[in-house]
Structure 1
């Protein structure tokens, strides 16, 4: 049997005044709905502006055939997918570089002497190289006069239209320009899903990994892509000492994100990509919380 909810509500506006309703009835999906979901639905459905505190009162769930579209069908039309690895004490991202050291600068116990009884805080201390975890490369990483994380415009980090390329490492480690042809990529973020992230934090991860060729980098530059991300140990072939892909892309101010994960959870398109670092002067690489926003179709 379908479920409905009966409730009263109070909406208080940030510019003064309020709106109250009694004995509202609404179709719901499932057997329950939270007060927060009801509050969000009221604000959206009534197109209320400047809404502040919302109280849901006298809520009752009962069985009755649905009358209209349910509240839970008004859930957000986008969902966020985390594409970053977790950084933790002792993590080795790149052999030869030190692992991060994460500890208390001020512990909760030590902080108690500064505050009233029952109030305490923790202030952390982190010592690490900037090439740790999932990170973004800006031109300064490769070029002395290139832009650092402080100088890159915010729009180059956030909400970039993105496309995913499926190039399994089991089929090839060498990713060429041919892999990117016959798809619309101009002005987009290119996310390369090889599946190599399954080896993260193992000895296998560091050697014989997928990489882009120089021809691939030249093609992506010519197509004026915004950013290139990969779920591999390095976007260049680390078997040699040259780094043509970093050189070509960063010289064109095409940002690079390495050590992505969870790209298998994304569709091939209709997504946006964000990977924003803190604003540091004199730093060309820094860890990011990379994520994708995936468009969803509302249930009818």
Structure 2
């Protein structure tokens, strides 16, 4: 029997997601009452206002590079039904290449989704979420880029150290065409191997980042 595990945070108006970025907002563009008066039936059409970096979201190369692939150019094969490899990196703030090498060794992760569990999502929704948050180091990004996963994700506020404005992990991974998936949650429920990830954004031209409903499919006994 296949189990579906949700790896995404819920969204709500005004929520805290990332330092310096506004929370999402929405309103009825055409309300149920508008429809009732004009047609006798009721619907609601909503207008949504939010930055692309809201909730659990995917970064394409265009997020970092003006000539990089945007969301519309992300192939579905890179974000749908992708073999998932989980790295348990709990216990330290900076996740370096040594941690990844210790967890993955010589394992072939080309074309896989490498998700890094730090349990940083435990403080989601408050300003404490961004304080001393776990992140990958530049050498970890270089180590991963050489092994060509389709994407790398983390259950933290940012895959980079927020204090490092150079953003070496985004630069290295997105420069190598490796997608970045941030603000994951629920990684504790995943097996180390064998699950498959779905994290599909809208195919939007000219945008580099957008929320996804990330989830994993895990096969188990019937």
- Greater relative contact order structure (CA < 8 Å, 6+ sep): 2
Displacement of 1:92: 2.0
SS of residue in 2 equivalent to 1:280 = coil
Q: Which has the higher strand share?
A: 1
- 2:138 aligned with 1:214, yes or no? yes
Question: 1:257: which partner in 2?
Answer: 181
Matched, 1:78 2:2: yes
Q: How many residues of Structure 1 are paired with residues of Structure 2 in the alignment?
A: 218
The equivalent residue for 1:190 is: 114
Find out whether 1:127 has 2:57 as its counterpart: no
- Which of 59, 77, 83 in structure 2 is aligned with 1:161? 83
Offset, 1:187: 2.4
Runs of 5+ consecutive residues of structure 2 not aligned to the other structure: none
Q: Which residue of 1 aligns with 2:69?
A: 147
Structure 1 position 186, deviation (Å) = 2.9
Q: Which runs of 5+ in 1 are unaligned?
A: 1-76
Higher helix share: 2
Query: Where does residue 92 of structure 1 map in the other structure?
Result: 16
The offset of 1:241, in angstroms, is 1.2
1:223 partnered with 2:147: yes
What's the TM-score, normalizing by structure 1? 0.71
Out of 99, 114, 118, the position equivalent to 1:179 is 99
Distance 1:114 1:273 in 2: 44
Within the candidate set 175, 180, 201, 2:125 is matched to 201
Distance in 1 of aligned mates of 2:98 and 2:2 = 32
What CA distance in whole angstroms lies between the structure 1 residues aligned with 2:164 and 2:60?
Answer: 22
**CA RMSD across the alignment:** 1.0
> Where in structure 1 do 4 or more consecutive aligned residues deviate above 3 Å?
none
Matched with 2:214 is 290
Q: What is the rounded CA distance, in whole Å, between the counterparts of 1:88 and 1:95 in structure 2?
A: 17
What is aligned with 1:46? none
Deviation at 1:183, TM superposition (A): 5.3
